[in-house]
Amino acid sequence: MHSKAKGPTKAERLRMAWIKEDGCGPCRKIGIVNLADADHEVVGGKRTGHSRTIPICPWHHRGVPPNGWTASMAEMQLGPTKSRDMRGFYSRFGTFDEQLAEVNERYENRQRPAGY
């Protein structure tokens, strides 16, 4: 599949790599550390840009339960997903813009590796 959208800049690639490792924002709010996908904001069926991404794990992003869990177990423990209950997801974990502001603040204040 070919997209007409521009690829990410170097700075956007670095940010997306960092947010994936920083972990899922919703999981962070319930006290869990979990690697994440870079979820792009979509408006009118189109991505708004690579800088408008938030980190959410496969469960919160696409409704994929952790290994060995059923969807109902995951929902009870981890809360609603964006794909299955978008309204509930944003109600519990904050709007896209609120989550974006949180991750951008963490990114701006991140620890840089020694020698960077």
CA distance 83 to 74: 14
Q: How many helices (H) and strands (E) does the chain have?
A: 6, 4
In CATH, what number does 10-107 get?
Answer: 3.30.40.190
Residue 43 banded pLDDT, cuts 50, 70, 90 = confident
Q: What per-residue confidence (pLDDT) applies to 5? A: 66
Mean pLDDT confidence for 47-59: 92
Mean model confidence pLDDT for the chain: 89
**Sequential DSSP letters for 2-60:** ---SPPPPHHHHHHHHHHHHH--HHHHHTT-----EEEEPEETTEE--TTSEEEE-HHH
Average pLDDT rounded to a whole number, residues 45-51: 87
46 DSSP β-pair partners: 43
DSSP one-letter string for 45-100: TEE--TTSEEEE-HHHHH--PPTT--HHHHHHHH---TTT-HHHHHHHH--HHHHH
C-alpha 15/C-alpha 52 separation (Å) is: 10
pLDDT, tens only, 3-38: 566 888 999 999 999 999 999 999 999 999 888 999
Residue 62, token pair as written in the block: 């696409």
In the prediction, which pLDDT does 99 show? 96
**Per-residue confidence band for 82, with pLDDT thresholds at 50, 70 and 90:** very high
Given a contact cutoff of 8 angstroms between Cβ atoms, the answer to whether 13 and 49 are in contact is no
pLDDT at 42: 86
Domain spans in the chain, listed from the N-terminal domain onward: 10-107
